[in-house]
Copies of this chain bind each other. A is one copy, B any other.
Amino acid sequence: MKSKNDKRPTIYDIAQALNIAPSSVSKALNDSPSVSEKVKILVRDKARELNYRHNSQAASLRKGTSRTIGVIVPKINSAFFSNAISGMEEVCFDHSHQLIICQTEESYAKEKQAIETLITNNVDCIIISQSIETKSDNHLKEVMKRNIPLIQFDRVNKSISCHQVVNDNKTAAYHAVKELLKQGYKNIAFLGGSFEMDVYNERREGYLQALKENGMMIPYDYVVAGIHSEQNGYDAASLLLDSQLSPDAFLTASDYIAFGVMKAVFDKALSIPDDVGVIGFANEPFSAMIVPSLTTVDQNSRAMGIETAKIYFDELMDSQKSNVPITKTVPCTIICRDSIRKK
By a beta-carbon cutoff of 8 Å, the part of chain A in contact with chain B is: 1-3, 6, 8, 51, 53-58, 60-61, 66, 75-77, 79, 82-83, 85-86, 89, 98-103, 116-117, 119-122, 142, 145-149, 259, 285-286, 289-291, 316, 319-321, 323
Contacts and interface: CB of A to CB of B under 8 A. Distances in A.
A284 to B, nearest CB: 8
Contacts of A121: 56-57, 98
A8 B148 CA distance: 11
Given A77-B83, A86-B103, 19 more contacts: A1-B147, A1-B316, A1-B323, A2-B148, A2-B149, A2-B316, A8-B146, A54-B120, A55-B120, A56-B120, A57-B66, A58-B61, A76-B85, A76-B86, A77-B77, A77-B79, A77-B86, A289-B290, A290-B291
Most chain B CB within a 10 A radius of its CB, from A54, A77, A103, A117: A77
A65 to B, nearest CB: 9
Counted per complex, copies of this chain come to 2
A182 to B, nearest CB: 27
Most chain B CB within a 10 A radius of its CB, from A60, A86, A101, A148: A101
A230 to B, nearest CB: 9
B321 A1 contact: yes
Task: Across the A-B interface, give the 5 residue pairs with the lowest CB-CB distance, nearest first.
Answer: A77-B82, A286-B286, A56-B120, A1-B319, A2-B147
Contacts of A148: 2
Contact of A76 (B76, B100, B145, B149): B76
A140 B175 CA distance: 51
Contacts of A117: 98
Contacts of A56: 120-122
Contact of A57 (B61, B101, B259): B61
A250 to B, nearest CB: 17
Contacts of A142: 51
A221 B147 CA distance: 63
A192 to B, nearest CB: 22
Contact of A320 (B1, B75, B99, B319): B1
A82 B89 contact: no
A6 B147 contact: yes
Nearest to A294: B289
A204 B12 CA distance: 52
Contacts of A101: 76, 99, 101
A149 B1 contact: yes
Nearest to A255: B289
A83 B259 CA distance: 22
Contacts of A319: 1-3
B259 A289 contact: yes
Nearest to A82: B77
Nearest to A1: B319
A54 B3 CA distance: 27
A56 to B, nearest CB: 5
Contacts of A66: 57
A121 B58 CA distance: 9
A98 B115 CA distance: 13
B116 A53 contact: yes
Contacts of A99: 101
